[in-house]
Amino acid sequence: MLNFDGPTPLYIQIKDSIRKAIASGEWKPNEQIPSERELCKRFNVSRITVRQAIADAENAGLLYKIQGKGTFVKAPKIGQGLTRITSFGKTLQISGLSGSTTILESQVVPVNLQLSSILNCGLEDQVYNLQLLGYGNDEPIVYYNSFFPLAVGYSMNEAAQKYLKLNRPFSTYDLYGELDIAADAVDQTFEAVNCTQEVAKIMKVREGTAMLVVTSVVYTRDSKPVEFKTAMYKADKYKFHLKRNM
């Protein structure tokens, strides 16, 4: 089950296994997962290791614990929770909306100074640009503008075409699952802007409508940037939730 000799810590492997069990639906929302001691036996590791895996998963918004009762799978909130990374497709599903995603643009473009610095590539390099439009109940809800290193971009595009054919809503987070890239962390900035004319046209809103803009940089486990993305959400259709500790 676990690789005891490899370089990957056991608790990370266990966390990944938890993530998979939840993503695959094997463990359902609000369902109790095996107890810490049970997982110790199952993976043949100490309780500290299991607890660290669970703590990480809890931190990522995948689980919650109740003392004396057990550990449970966290059900994502309506809207979008900021603890747990939830893809567009999943968010729609939770909200009970039918949805779809269209590809507005899929192209290779030269970098600018900002992009080369963020994606950590040369000024002469090219990057892949993917622009998606997400619909909920046939209404544009979010406009994604992503930039990837070239190799990643080509794979992303392939995966996107695949989802497109299936006519299922998706965002780039859904696509990572299709690739062998393990996205591990995201840096995000939230701000409100008045919608420009171009975006207004794309999203079918009046110019000046308040939009929630989330700028993200996605990193792999080894802290290499793999995506720079700007997401513009139609304000009245999308909120973000967050729990913070002091």
| Cβ-contact 68, 81 below 8 angstroms | no
Between CA 186 and CA 164 the distance in angstroms is: 25
67 binds, among DNA, a copy of itself, none (CB under 5 to 8 A by kind): DNA
126 binds, among DNA, a copy of itself, none (CB under 5 to 8 A by kind): none
Instruction: Compute how many other C-beta atoms are within 10 angstroms of the C-beta atom of residue 232.
Output: 23
Question: Of 29-37, 102-110, 123-131, 186-194, which part binds a copy of itself (CB under 8 A)?
Answer: 186-194
The correct pick among 70, 110, 177, 208 for binding DNA (CB under 7 A) is 70
| Cβ-contact 128, 148 below 8 angstroms | yes
56 lies in the site for a copy of itself, by CB under 8 A? yes
Between CA 175 and CA 155 the distance in angstroms is: 9
109 lies in the site for a copy of itself, by CB under 8 A? no
46 binds, among a copy of itself, DNA, none (CB under 5 to 8 A by kind): DNA
Report the b/e string of 69-106 with b at 16+ CB within 10 A.
eebbbbebbeebbbbbbbbbbbbbbbbebebbbeeeeb
CB of residue 68 to a copy of itself, shortest distance in Å: 16
Question: Of 96-104, 106-114, 133-141, 189-197, which part binds a copy of itself (CB under 8 A)?
Answer: 189-197
Question: Of 30-38, 84-92, 94-102, 118-126, which part binds DNA (CB under 7 A)?
Answer: 30-38
Long-range contacts of 238-241 (CB under 8 A, 24+ apart): 238/79, 238/80, 238/141, 238/142, 238/212, 239/79, 239/80, 240/79, 240/80, 240/81, 240/82, 240/190, 240/212, 240/214, 241/77, 241/79, 241/80, 241/81, 241/82
Among positions 211-240, residues that touch a copy of itself (CB under 8 A) are: 211-213, 233, 235, 238-240
CB of residue 47 to DNA, shortest distance in Å: 5
CB of residue 5 to DNA, shortest distance in Å: 10
Which stretches of the chain bind a copy of itself, using CB under 8 A? Answer: 19, 56, 59-60, 79, 82-83, 85, 183-194, 208-213, 233, 235, 238-246
Which stretches of the chain bind DNA, using CB under 7 A? Answer: 7, 9-12, 33, 35-38, 44-49, 51-52, 65-71
